[in-house]
Each structure stands twice: as structure tokens, then as C-alpha cells.
Structure 1
Amino acid sequence: AVEVASSVNGQIMPPVMGAAAFLMVEYVGIPYVEIIKHAFLPASISYIALLYIVHLEALKQGMQPIGNHQPKPWLRRLTGFAFGAALISGLSLAVYYGLGWLKPALGDYALPVISVLLAVVYLALLKIAASNPPLPDEDPEKPLTELPQTRAVLLSGLHFLLPVVVLVWCLMIERLSPGLSAFWGSVMLVIILLTQRPLLSWLRADHGATHGGFVDGLIDLREGLIAGARNMIGIGIATAAAGIIVGAVSQTGVGLVLADVVEVLSMGNLLLMLVFIAVFSLILGMGLPTTANYIVVSSLMAPVVVALGQQNGLIVPLIAVHLFVFYFGIMADVTPPVGLASFAAAAVSKGDPIKTGITAFYYSLRTAALPFLFIFNTDLLLIDVSLWHGVLIFFVATGAMLIFAAGTQGFFLVRSRWYESVLLLLVAFTLFRPGFWMDLAHDPYRDIPPAELAQALGSVDENSQLRLRIRGEDAVGDAREFALLLPVPSGDSGEERLEKLGLMTYEEDGRVLIDSVAFGSPAADAGLEFDQEILVVRAPTDRWAKEWMWLPG
């Protein structure tokens, strides 16, 4: 379940995000660097919280370190981590730039030359493995009392990196499909399984240990194929079942009326609306790879959040909406009864897939809570915050997420009572969304009559925003009400600022209507159109910063 929670989180972690980040550039219309910046904080604190959850589980179950565990000096641990990162990065760079240079240089001879080069590297890595003592045989029935030595294990299996090299080569240099690239990587692995045993026995200088022969390699291959086929049965059934649901949604057009369904079911309640959007995103994301998942949920669900949010006075940046539906689309890989990642993990661990999925979802509650939080508090996405404010938010949000994990796990310094867990969740909520309590203490906006729009523009600071409630018509002519944010431009008077907005209004029977909106003006960009009625104008008020609520939290 921990593996499921960590692997699924890899799809929300910048810079790649399962290729969804590149699609977001097109869908949201902001630079790639901005996507990375907004997605970084939630993904980082989610991973930190998962480490903490593993720690809490160990405390709850009274786990002890295996063997005579002596903590390594921090410098040695840091050096080991840096070496591992450098090894992986160096391998990737060598494949991409080193081998990538060979292909155009060798032309038609590239494939045979690279094949010979691969064989030479394979023999060299086997020689390294043969130069070290063979690993002792493992008894699966014997209790694990000592951890294996990292160096010995690494040197004895370096040649198993070659299928990864072939995979990266096929994907990045040959530009083959993922399926065909995986096939050639598997072919390389089959060759290693068949040849490694006799070659290791031949290369070992002391001849003091035998690794078996070609027949033993055939047995390894047969057992691997059987185990792989058995592991894929559960995943294949889950994928087929999910395909039925996805097909029903896409072929019947039910996705096109989801906005109406959510609006009716939520009965105008904003939080309930977001819950339904999350559930629908989970259903739509079942059985889909990351890229297809994001395309489906963003095209069907993101417009629903924007439209219904505006009608209920919730105005959030488009990137927050897309990340909201993307997070819950990804969570479909965890949640039972489908949860493909849970089925794959259970096939490896020989555990119950449904129990694995339930536990993984329990661990992933921290990831499920984040989208709701950054919809109401866009500071978590580092939107319009300074560098030092962003650093402060990172530390506070990390602490809040650790407290949230402790509350959901029922263990803090010791096992928590139920009311202590509730208090921990309340503290986490206060740190995550301090504006909720500050809004109760002091309304952030004051109502102004629509006829005094010009005076309101003149009384507020430039570069701030007015909140307007508008009555107009949608694309098919039906009446609707919605909220929008109107930017306040620079200017010496309210009338001058109104002119810079490109907006002209008039009064009729006590109502304030829009007379004209200049093409390409800030007012047009905000969503104002001819003949709309301005119902309410709300201007920001001077109040304490919401971050003061962190102190009682």
C-alpha cells in the first residue's frame, strides 16, 4: 500500500507529472515553468507526509531496525544519495547524448555497431559481478535478521540495468511506441536470463562457485513468464472492467451533461459540488494512463468546476481547477474496486488487492485533501506570493500536512484518543486555510451599490480587484448569474479607471446595465459583455493578514 501511494504520487510530481504538465501548458495557457512552480509545493509536502506515515506505522506496530543498525553520519548518507542520483543521471545522459550521437554518425551501420557495443558492456558488467563473491542463497522461511550489503548486491547485478538502457534508447532515440520499446527491453532481459549463468561460471577466475548452466537459465525464464502471466490476470480483468465504464461514459455522451447532474445533486452547495466533481473524476480516471486520464477529466470536469464555481461565487485560477480534477483522476489508480496500481502491487506482495487498495487510499488521504485546500487557498500553489512568503508557506504547509497525517493515522507522539485526532485535524485545517477563520472574524469585502462602481474603483488601491455579481445569458440564451473579478487599473479618478477598463454602464429602472465593452479590454477579458446587469459590487477591505491565524493554530 505504501508502494501504491508513492508510485501514484509520482504522477503529480513535477517536472514531468506523467506528461500531463506538457498538456497543461496548452489547456491552461501558461508557461511550462509556471506549471512546475504551481504543482511543486503540493507534491513535495505529499511525499514528505508519506515518509512520516511510514514512520508512524513503524511506531504503531513497534517495529525495530533489522540487524545491528548503526546510523551513518549525515555526510556519508548525503554522499551516498548524491552518488546514486549521479549514477542514474549519468546513465540517462550517456544513453541520450552518447548513443544518440552514434546513430547519425554511423548511419546504416548504427544497429550492428550498437549491438556489439551492448554485448561488450554486458560482458564487462558480468566480469565485475564475477570478480566479487557470489551472494549467499536466501531461505524464504528464515527470519530476516540482517540486511544485505548494498555494494555487494549492486555489483552483482549491474548488468540488469541494460534492459533499462535499451528501453530508454527505444523511447528517446528510436522514438518507438511505449509498447514496442517495452518489448525490446524484455528481449534484452530474456537474453540476460538465458546467458548470465554460464557466462558468470566461465568468467569467475577462481572457479570456486558455479552459477548453473543454460538449462538453469531456461528454468528461470519459464518461471518468470509464468509469474508474469499470473500477475497480469488481475490487472487485465480490472482494466477490462474499467474500460466498460469509460466506454459507457464516452460513447453515450453522459459526460456532456455532467454539469447539469452535478448542479442538481449539489443543490447549490459549493463543497458538495466539489465532492461530486471529485467522485466523477475518480470514475472517469479508472483504468486510464496518466496522459489520457488528464485529457478526459480536464475536458469534461474542469469546465464544470469553473462554471458552477462562478455561479456560487467561487473564483479560482484555471491552473487550480485543472490540478483539482487531475489529482482525483490519478487517485483512480488507488481507490478500489478498480485501483490498477493496487492490483499490481498486490500481485507482487501476494496480498489481497481490495485490502491493499483500501489501505493505500487511507495513506493517500493527504493527497485527496490537498485539492480541496488549494481551491480555497491558492497560496498553496504559490500563486501571487513573494519568494519569502512562499518559503514560509512551504514550512507551514509541511507542518500542517504532517499534523494531518498524524490525525488520520491516530498516532502523534503516542497513540491518539479520538478527540485528540479531531484536534489535530482542526489544527491542520487552521494552518492550511487561515483565511476561513479570518473571514468569520472580519468580512474581506464590503458591499457597494452598483451605481457607485466608478466611486468604488477610485477608492481602492490600483492592482487590487473588485468582485462583481453579474446577471446575463449563457451561450444558448438561458439566464444565469455568476461572479467575476474585475482588475483595478491605474488612474487618478474612478472615471479614468473605468475608461481604462473599457467599460461603459447606464441605469434603467433602478438597475445598472453594461452599455458597451471595448474589444480586447480588461473588462472583456474578465468576462463582461453588452446588456449584462451588475447586481453587486464588492470592494476589498483593510483587515489583518490571514496568516495571523497561524499563531492560535
Structure 2
Amino acid sequence: MVKDTVETREFTEAQLQELVASSDAGARSPAGAVGTLMAVTAVTWSLFQVILASPVVNHLLPADVINNSRQFHLTFAIFLAFLAYPAFKSSPRRYVPLQDWGLALAGGFAAIYGYLFYEKIVRAGGIADDTDKLVALAGLLLLFEAARRALGPAMAVIASVFLAYIFFGSSEYVPEVIRWKGASLTKAMSHLWTTSEGVFGLPLSVSTKFVFLFVLFGALLEKAGAGNYFIKLAFGALGHLRGGPAKAAVVGSAATGLISGSSIANVVTTGTFTIPLMKRVGFTSEQAGSVEVASSVNGQIMPPVMGAAAFLMVEYVGIPYVQVITHAFVPAAISYVALVYIVHLEAVKRNMPVLGSRAVPVAHTIGGMFAFFAGFALLCYAMKYPVAMVTSLVPEGAGWVLPVMLGLAYAGLLAIAARQPDLETDDPNAREVRLPVVSEIYKSGLYYLLPIIVLVYFLMIEQKSPGLSAFWATMLLFFILLTQKPLKAFLRGQLDYGDQLRSGLRDVVAGLIDGARNMTGIALATATAGVIVGTVTLTGVGQVMADLVEFLSGGNLIAMLLLVGFLSLFLGMGLPTTANYIVVSSLLAAVVVELGAQAGLVVPLIAVHLFVFYFGIMADVTPPVGLASFAAAAVSGGDAIRTGFTAFFYSLRTVALPFVFIFNTDLLLIDVTLWQGFFIFIIASIAILVFTAGTMGWFITRSRLYESLLLVLISFALFRPDFFHDRIEPPFVQHEAAMLEQLLGEAAEGDEIRVEVNGPDFDTLELKDLTVKIDVPAGASGAERLGKLGLLLLAEDGQVKLEEPFGGTPFFGPLSKFDFYADDPVVVKSVLITADRLPKELVYFPALLLLGLIALMQQRRARRQAEEVPA
């Protein structure tokens, strides 16, 4: 029997919206002229960013404005921050105090100073004079205060510590291991404020070029009504299942994660509907909140839009965005698969009732969802054929033919939607809950998919830049917002076209405002993180930190990864995901790659960056500061700390996956074919389901301890077949160093050869090992191929010595950690050739056989238990 009542929520709807506003957009919304000024500023910022991303920006904005767009970006952010975010809890919310006006204007002036006095700064070679350094110092202090208001104290405190280290790093009170010579105020301010090494560096550049457009895209899509549409679809598809509201929360959050980009906003948007329904079917307040937290936070790792950190990866790793989201797809997808299974097991363990009376076979539900996502992906891919046809038939007219075709598709889908009633937001506390019927409601919002298809098409098929892709998708959203209501009124025979057009215009303006205010915190986070990155480049403390972490880990890669994960979690308790990612990846990403190479493991840089990113998002879950957990507890009325711990337990698969894909890069679809990728996804899905069953203590029935341990072991074998395979058959055949040239000559182009190098460390002169991977280039002989690689070998004293590679050659960077001019030479120790052995996938057979045995045992036990229950 389904409960008809639910516990009273601790927060009202208004309080929840205030919670989201205070964390994402600022808690202050004054009325009157000041409110209008803030709205106009936000709209102006959004329009400026749209123009900046447009393909005709050179015709719309002066070149000096484009070149200094980061200064304008930060100016808007600081100005809005001091107006929108109160200084303290006791500060007024309904008006802006005089001191905040002063701080807003001063902060804006400091941010735009580089543009206003650009010629003077250039003439000085970027070296700050007395005025410049005072403005820069004031700008940094104002930036830290704005970041404190918008992001909490942790970001400002950490940045202040790094800034203090620049000036006082030579003090005797600083531990000798990290002591440095220090810098003058002029040098520090020049580096951090007047050049592109600090505040106005790469993180703020990515925020300016890419991130804003995606945040704006999400805000506009939400205003269009797509959020409610996705939630209803998920609830209609899964609500009838056991634990259906929780499963709908998972899928709905995966969809709205694309829209909101904020864990807290995602929790409140979907949670106000799903959490009360989860409680109605038997989830505790903490469990209901935890499911919403785990699914909402993971929205940041779900392609094709993964938040600001994904765009930073493009710059840090040096690969196209399409590769970033390709590598991230399998871990993100199976993470959501596991979360659906977690809530299913919770529902089965508690024998929870179902909502409604509609009975749909589970196979139909799974098949329908798979068909929807597969059909959507196929549609995005198939778009290239009509586009190619139009481009070939009318190459000069494709620029207007394609938009007309898109407009006709929109008109057709809107005509279908106009025949359906508009979707209203359901009341989760109603006495009788009516499940939406997917076949009745899906037609009402199909046109919402068009902007997403445009975005995915430009990103994945055309492989345009993220900024340009988001620009075209955003332009389509502008058109949809302006026209959907008046066109629906026309198609329904209603006469209030003017009112509907004005309503659409208000939606556009509201979306522009929301986009700008949601970006304020992100812009401040990237700017403040630039101080940390600038400190690392100025002082060289990154190498010291790397040596310290390497010392603490004892040179063990697993221990090193645990330290990096812990550091990400610790910093993430006070930093937003983006800032956390910037700090940890700047300090430690290259160290993990190097330490892996010393251990003989070639770790791709993208794997390390995703590792840091995954642990960064976990900070939104982890007590005692997990903000998403506090938001969910506010909705559910449960205890925030218990909600956080439960959410962390539900997120164990998000913690485990990064360790898996560091050692098994197949999960990141690196160097795999399409069919191999499909097979990897199937096996990974089975593995994550088995891991979930093992950690939840329930498979077909309640598991015994040894069964849970075996299930975890099976999942490990499915995730890491190479671990067992390498112990049966060594993965490489070792050859003498003197054979390197011969083996290169005999290898086929594109083959992989690994070389073990030994030599003195550049900093410590201690001998260390390093394994480098060679992708065999084209060439008629081994000597020619060595020349193309920039490797010069010298056989001498019974060793194969290695000369320092020339700058610009493939191994100049990887081998730069060695001192080629020390007393001890850098030598090639051995050459490793991939062994000809049986495929590692054979490990799957005994693992799956053991899984079948456990399933058979549990099935028999479940049957006996059912027979023992009295009728």
C-alpha cells in the first residue's frame, strides 16, 4: 500500500529557490532601478559573449575589444558579484549598500585596467610601474573578496596563501623543502595581473571563450521548458517500476545535468519532485536525498556537456573537445547504469511498492530507453548526409538552405506539440499520483531536442570548436523561445499572439539574466585559480609539491593516486569543481604520468585529468561540506551529514572507476575501433553491475559475505582482465638496448615499442628509470626512423647512451627530466616489444562462469526462502 502522506519538507519552495540563488546566482535581488541595472548588466554580458562567439565577431567588435575579452569578462563578473552577493549573512538582501557599490566599481575598474591602459603596458613590456602594481594589488584583493562572497572562504584563503608564498617564500619560517628566493611586488603583480600568466591566463580564457556559451545554453533551454519535459519523460518511462521515482530521478538528472551545469540547481530542480515521491514508496529521507545527490552531481561527467573543466582539459591536454567527450563517455554512462541498479536493489531489499497501476514489462522499458538514446545518437550522426547533399547541390546557397530546412523541421515538430496540452508541473504531494504516459507526452516537446542535436552535430560530426557549436545551438534557442508560444497560439486558433510573443521575449531576457548570473561564480573561480597557476609558474613550487607527493607515496603509483584523490576531495570541500580541477591538475597531473612511466606504465595524460575531475566532483557529495547534500537534505527534511555519507556510499562506483581507467585505458576508448568500443561498453556495464551487487550485499537475494567478495573480484576481472593475463603471459618481450635500431627497422609503421631509459634526475641527480612509448614512424630503415624521432644513440663502454633530443622533437619533453650533462650518462636499459599472446578477453570466460555459479546458488536459495514463507 502506497503511503498517501509524506513528511513535511524542512524548506519551502521559496526557500529552496533562495538556496539555489545564493549558491549559484547570488542571494540579492533588489527591486527598482538597482534591480533593473543588474538585469541590464547581466543581459549586456550575455549578449557580449554571444557576439564574441559568433563567426562574424570581427565585423561587430573592435579588434582591441576582442583581444582583451578576458578583461571585459572579469569586469562583468566582479561588478555583478559585489551587487548580487551580500558580504555577510546579516547583510541586506533588498538593497545594495553604498560600500558594495564602491567595491563593484573599483573591482570593475581594476579588471578593465589592462584594456584602458593597454598601450602603456605594452610599451613597458608588461612590467608594472608604480600605478600598475597598486591597481593590480587592489584588483587581486577585490577579486579574492568577490570570490569569497560567491564561492565561500576556501577559494580566497587558498589563493591568499599562494599569494603570500610569492612574497614570503624566502622566510626562515617556511619549510626548507618549499623555500624559494621570493619576488618583489612589481614582479609579482606584473606576472599575476598585467600578463596572461596569472588571473588573465588560460582558465579565464576558457571561461570567456567556451564556458559562458554552454551555461547560457543551459539557462535558455531550461526557460524553454525542456527541464520539465525531460523529468516527465523519465518519470513516465520508469515511474511504474519498483523504486520507480528513484530511477526516474537518476535518468532525469542525467538529462537535466546537460541543462543546469550545477549540482545544487540540479538537486533542487528534479529533487523537489522526485524526493517526495521516493519517500512515498519507502525510501528514507536520507536515502531519497542521497539518490538525488549522486545522480545530480554525476551530471557534470555526462557528455556531451561536462562543465567548465572539460573545456580546460582541451587546453591542458592538447586534444580536441570531441576526443575529451569520447574518452569520458563509457565511464559516465556505466556510472549512471550502476546508479539505476543501486536504487533497484534498494527497492527490492525493502520490497517497496510501485506507483500507479500501469504494468509494463521491464524488457519493454529497457528496450524503449535504449531505442530512444540509440535513435537520438543515430539521428545526430545521420544529419551529416542531408547536410552533405545540400552542400554539394547548392554549395553557395547552403548557408540559407540548411537554416530553412531546420526551420521547417522545427515548424513540423511544433505543429505536433501544439496538438498536445502544455506540460504542467506535477504536485508530488498529491493524494493520488498519476504517472505520465510517455506515448501521450513525448510529442509535446520533441522540438526541444533540436538545439541539442545541433550542438552535438557541430561538436561530434563537424568537429567545430565548442564555442562556435554552442553559438549556433544558442541562436536556435533564441528563435525557439521567441516563437514557440505565439506559433502554438496560432496553431491552436487562439488570438493572443501579441501576449505570447511578449511572454517569449520575457523568457529570452530571463534566460540571458540567468545565464550571466550563473556564470558569475564560474568566472571568479577561474580567475582566482589563475592566481594559483601563476604562483606555480613563477615560483616553481609545482615541482617541489610533486617531489613531496612522490616522497610521501614512496614511488608507488597506487599510493600516489590515493594521495591525489584525497587532495582533490579535501580541496573540493571548499572549492568549486572547476577551481579544484585547475589546482590539482596543475600541480600533480604531470607527476602521475611521470611516476607511471617510472613504474613502466604509460598513463595517457587525459586519463589523469579525468581522474582529478572525477574526484573533484565527489567533493559536492562528501561531508562535511558537500553542498549538494545540504541542498538535498533541505528538500527531504533529512539530516545533511547522513545524506552526504549515504550519497558517498552510493557514489562508490564513481570513486572506483578512475582507478580502473588509469590502468585499463580501453574504458576511455583510447585506440579502439567502433566495434571494440561497443564490446567494451557491454563488458564494462556488466562489470559495474556486478560491482554494485557486491558492494550492496544483494544480487538475486541477500548475498553472503564470501559471495559479495567474489562479486567484487569478478567485477575486477572484467574491468582489469590484463591484471590476470599479464601474470599468465608477460605482455612484453625484453630485448637488449643495442637492438633498438634494428627493431625499429623491422617494425611496421604505427607499431608500438617501449624503451626503458635510466639516467640522473635533472633536479636531484639521483638515477631513475623512465619508460617511454615510441609509435613507429614511417621510414626505410631504423636509423631514418631514429632521426625522425630525434633520438641519437651512442654505443660506448658497453652501454647505449642517449644524447639530449633537440627541441621540438617528439621526446624532448618526456626526456627533459634527465640531466644529460651530469657525470652519469642517460642510457637505454632495454627495449620492450609487445608479445604475441592470447587475447586478454579470455579472462572474461572464467569470470562470467563464476558469476553464473553465484547466480545459480542465489536463485536456489531465494526459491527455498520463498517456499519457507507461510502463505
Please confirm whether the aligned pair reaches a TM-score higher than 0.5, indicating the same fold. yes
Residue in 1 that maps onto 2:621: 334
Deviations 1:403-446 (A, max 9, x none): 11111111111111111011111111111111111100011112
- 1:442 aligns to what? 729
Give the match for residue 169 of structure 1.
Answer: 512
Give the whole-Å Cα distance in 2 for the aligned partners of 1:50 and 1:422: 20
Instruction: Look up the match of 2:794.
Output: 506
Q: How does 1:233-382 map to 2 (within 5 A)?
A: 257-382=544-669
Contact 2:573 2:619 survives alignment (8 Å): yes
Deviation per CA, 1:6-50: give whole Å up to 9, x if none. Answer: 011011111121122211111110011111111111101101111
Which residue in the other structure is 2:129 paired with? Answer: none
1:530-545 → structure 2 map (5 Å cutoff): 532-545=826-839
Aligned 1:49-198 pairs, distance under 5 A: 49-71=338-360, 79-80=438-439, 82-83=442-443, 86=446, 88-89=448-449, 96-97=474-475, 100=478, 166-171=509-514, 176-178=516-518
Distance 2:521 2:591 in 1: 38
| Superposition deviation, residue 263 in structure 1 | 1.5
Relative distance call for 1:7 and 1:163 in structure 2 (3 A) is farther
Residue identity opposite 1:503 in structure 2: L
Please report how far the alpha carbon of residue 313 of structure 1 lies from its aligned counterpart in structure 2 after TM superposition.
Answer: 2.0
> 1:426, 1:83 → 2: CA distance?
45
Separation in structure 1 between the aligned mates of residue 654 and residue 688 of structure 2, nearest angstrom: 10
Retained in 2: the 8 A contact 1:297–1:326? no
| Paired amino acid for 1:534 | V
Matching of residues 403-552 of structure 1 within 5 Å:
403-476=690-763, 478-481=765-768, 482-515=770-803, 517-524=805-812, 527=815, 532-552=826-846
Residue pair 2:804, 2:812 contacting (<8 A) in 1 also: no
Task: Give, as a single letter, the amino acid of the residue that structure 1 aligns with 2:307.
Answer: G
Change (3 A) 1:368 1:98: closer
Matched residue type, 1:463: G
Whether the 8 Å contact between 1:450 and 1:535 is mirrored in structure 2 is: yes
1:27-80 Cα deviation digits (max 9, x unpaired): 110011111111111101101111111100000111010343433875998654
- Would the alpha carbon gap of residues 391 and 284 (structure 1) be closer, same or farther in structure 2, given more than 3 Å must change? same
| 283-292 vs 526-535, greater mean Cα deviation | 526-535
Q: Find the counterpart in structure 1 of residue 383 from structure 2.
A: none
Query: Is contact 1:8-1:333 (8 Å) kept?
Result: yes
The answer (yes or no) to whether the contact 2:590–2:605 under 8 Å persists in 1 is no
Deviation, structure 1 residue 283? 1.3
Task: Classify the secondary structure of the residue corresponding to 1:273.
Answer: helix
CA distance in 2, matches of 1:163, 1:324: 41
441-450 or 520-529, larger mean C-alpha shift: 520-529
**What residue identity is the alignment partner of 1:178?**
N
Shift of 1:284: 2.0
* Alpha-carbon distance, 1:170 to partner: 2.5
Report % sequence identity. Answer: 52
Structure 1 residue 475, shift from structure 2 partner = 4.9
Q: TM-score, normalised by structure 2?
A: 0.46
What is the alpha-carbon distance in structure 2 between the residues aligned to residue 317 and residue 293 of structure 1?
Answer: 21
Q: 1:99 to 1:326 in 2, by over 3 A?
A: closer
> Matches of 2:710 and 2:716 in 1, distance apart?
10
SS in 2 for 1:483: strand
Contact 1:281/1:301 (8 A) holds in 2: no
Residue aligned with 1:333, SS:
coil
1:267-317: CA deviation from partner (whole Å, max 9, x where unpaired): 222211211111111112223223223222221221221232222222111
Take 2:534 and 2:750, find their aligned partners in 1: how far apart are those partners? 43
Q: 1:15 — aligned with what?
A: 304
Give the residue type in structure 2 aligned to 1:305.
V
Give the counterpart letter for 1:417 in structure 2.
Answer: R
Query: Following the alignment from structure 2 to structure 1, what is the Cα–Cα distance between the partners of residues 683 and 341?
Result: 16
Residue-by-residue CA offset, 1:489-542 (whole Å, 9 max, x unaligned): 344543443344332211232222113635544444654785632122222211
Separation (CA, whole Å) in 2 of partners of 1:515 and 1:439: 33
What do the CA deviations read for 1:433-476 (whole angstroms, capped 9, x no partner)?
11111100011112222122223323444322222222335554
SS in 1 for 2:619: helix
Residue 352 (structure 1) shift: 1.2
Flag the 1:27–1:167 CA change in 2: closer, same or farther, 3 A. Answer: farther
In the alignment, the residues of structure 2 paired with residue 480 and residue 84 of structure 1 have an alpha-carbon distance, to the nearest angstrom, of: 67
**Between Structure 1 and Structure 2, how many residues are aligned?**
442
Q: What is the CA–CA distance in structure 1 between the aligned matches of 2:510 and 2:839, rounded to whole Å? A: 52
Alpha carbons of structure 1 residues 487 and 36: separation in structure 2 relative to 1, 3 Å: same
Per the alignment, do residues 279 and 181 of structure 1 end up closer, same or farther by CA in structure 2, a change over 3 Å counting? closer
Local SS of the residue matching 1:468 = strand
2: CA distance between counterparts of 1:462 and 1:270? Answer: 31
Alpha-carbon offset, residue 99 of structure 1: 7.8
Cα distance 1:84–1:374, how it changes in 2: closer, same or farther (>3 A)? Answer: farther
CA distance in 1, matches of 2:676, 2:735: 31
Deviations 1:203-257 (A, max 9, x none): xxxxxxxxxxxxxxxxxxxxxxxxxxxxxxxxxxxxxxxxxxxx99999998764
Distance 1:27 1:177 in 2: 27
Assess if the C-alpha contact under 8 Å between 1:285 and 1:297 holds in 2: no
Q: Is the 8 A contact 1:95 1:168 kept in 2?
A: no
Structure 2 residue 6 is the aligned partner of structure 1 residue 6: no
Which amino acid in structure 2 is aligned with residue 488 of structure 1? V
Structure 1 position 180, deviation (Å)? 7.3
Check conservation: 1:170, 1:181, Cα contact below 8 A: no
Task: Give the equivalent residue in structure 2 for 1:401.
Answer: 688
CA distance in 1, matches of 2:507, 2:629: 24
Secondary structure of 1:485 counterpart: strand
CA distances 1:160-210 after superposition (whole Å, capped 9, x unpaired): 9999765423256xxx3427799xxxxxxxxxxxxxxxxxxxxxxxxxxxx
Range moving further from structure 2, 332-341 or 372-381:
332-341
Q: Distance in 1 between matches of 2:832 and 2:347?
A: 52
Identify if the C-alpha distance between structure 1 residues 120 and 489 changes in structure 2 by more than 3 Å, giving closer, same or farther: closer
TM-score with structure 1 length normalisation?
Answer: 0.71
Deviation at 1:545, TM superposition (A): 1.5
* Alpha-carbon separation, structure 1, partners of 2:765 and 2:785: 31
Cα distance between partner residues in 2 of 1:523 and 1:52: 46
The corresponding residue for 1:235 is none
1:53 and 1:324 map into 2 onto residues whose CA distance is 23
- In structure 2, relative to structure 1, the CA distance for the partners of 1:90 and 1:287 (3 Å cut) is farther
CA shift in 2, pair 1:163/1:276, >3 Å: farther
